[in-house]
Copies of this chain bind each other. A is one copy, B any other.
Amino acid sequence: MHKIGICGGSGYTGAELLRILNLHPDVEITAITSEKSAGKTVPEIFPHLTAYKHLVYEPLINEKLLSKADIFFMALPHGASQIAVDYFFSNGKKVIDLSADYRIKNPSVYEEWYKLPHQKTATLAKAVYGLPELYRKDIKNAALIANPGCYPTGSILALAPVLKAGLVDLDSISIDAKSGVSGAGRKSDMVFSYCEVNDGFKAYGLGTHRHTPEIEQVLSSVAQSDILLNFTPHLVPMDRGIVSTIYCRLKKDITTSDVLSIYQQAYTNEQFVVVLPEGKYPDAKHVRGTNYCHIGLKVNKRTNTLIIVSAIDNLVKGASGQAVQNMNLMLGIDEAAAIKGLALFP
């Protein structure tokens, strides 16, 4: 049994790691941290996690934690993650970082968007971007994974095949993304209170969301050409899920069916990506609680535009599920261990 430590375990991604790993045959959770919940058991904070009544939160003291586990999941706020990740990584542990701190390869881009300098650039250079569908081979050999952001996961999986195929104008991409409320984390904030969110819908952060450079970095690499794009997040009155509707201008005449073939081929060996039949489009509810990404698309002949729609669960494929997928790859075990579950529908 591999020993697992979770740093920052009182938020939704931490709870989701516990939910998922509870069904994992090869690991056990040996440590979990939280400053404000230190001394409490997991079910005192999360009554649904009844299987963990003997697991107690402790404060994050790197030195005390080091020997308690072999693999560390870091679910800390960005900034805080920089130092902690570097510590465990430098001391020979496998680290999967769910924060944004090790995703942006260029430290000045990181600083521009996150308003913080990066203090561990040597370690940053060693981090592997943990999107298995694109970087599985690197992940298998990595000791430090920068687990992708929720919005980037949905957007990149939706766009990678068409960019690889060179089918669209690179300056024409607009991503209109819609997220459930858990994307904002677990906290006391009036803006995310029930009465403010329920039965409403809104856009936010137009042109300024921090996931923009992450999406651009990966897609530029895929397209082998610099990409700037529009990314607009919205808040949906639902717990989980991200649906991304993406517009890009086609460079040549092609049918929906032919573009679908390109996607089916691109993802033919990917057990967590489902390319839907022509005329079908994804629903966040169909991936709720799962590690799946569903993709549908349509060529709009009238406007010469390709419209792609993807859906993921932001807490699973967009965070903790993908983190476990990365762990499985790093350990050389079944990539799908503990994340085989089908969606909770309805």
Contact = CB atoms under 8 A, between A and B. Distances in A.
23 contacts: A19-B341, A19-B343, A23-B341, A48-B286, A49-B342, A176-B245, A180-B201, A188-B189, A193-B193, A194-B194, A194-B196, A196-B346, A198-B237, A199-B240, A199-B346, A201-B236, A201-B243, A203-B243, A206-B309, A230-B305, A230-B307, A239-B346, A288-B344
| Residue among A171, A188, A200 with most chain B CB within 10 A | A200
Interface stretch (A130-138, A296-304, A322-330): A296-304
Contacts of A125: none
Contact-size category for A: 35 or more
Given A186-B193, A247-B247, 16 more contacts: A12-B346, A15-B345, A19-B341, A47-B294, A189-B193, A198-B198, A199-B238, A199-B284, A201-B238, A201-B243, A201-B311, A206-B309, A207-B298, A229-B303, A234-B243, A234-B245
Contact of A48 (B198, B201, B287): B287
Interface stretch (A54-62, A75-83, A139-147, A275-283): A275-283
Contacts of A22: 340-342
Contacts of A276: 47
A267 interface: no
A200 B288 contact: yes
A199 B199 contact: yes
A192 interface: yes
Contacts of A300: 206-207, 230
Given A49-B342, A305-B230, A345-B15, A238 B198 contact: yes
A193 to B, nearest CB: 5
A94 interface: no
Interface in A193-223: 193-204, 206-207
A285 interface: yes
A52 to B, nearest CB: 9
A246 to B, nearest CB: 10
A15 B296 CA distance: 23
Nearest to A22: B342
Nearest to A242: B201
A46 B232 CA distance: 24
A1 interface: no
A178 B176 CA distance: 11
Given A19-B344, A286-B48, A288-B344, A228 B303 contact: yes
A89 to B, nearest CB: 30
A142 to B, nearest CB: 28
A47 B286 contact: yes
| Residue among A12, A19, A204 with most chain B CB within 10 A | A19
A182 interface: yes
B284 A201 contact: yes
Given A240-B346, A287-B48, A342-B49, A187 B198 contact: no
A51 interface: yes
A120 to B, nearest CB: 28
Nearest to A20: B342
A190 B185 CA distance: 10
Contacts of A341: 19, 22-23, 341
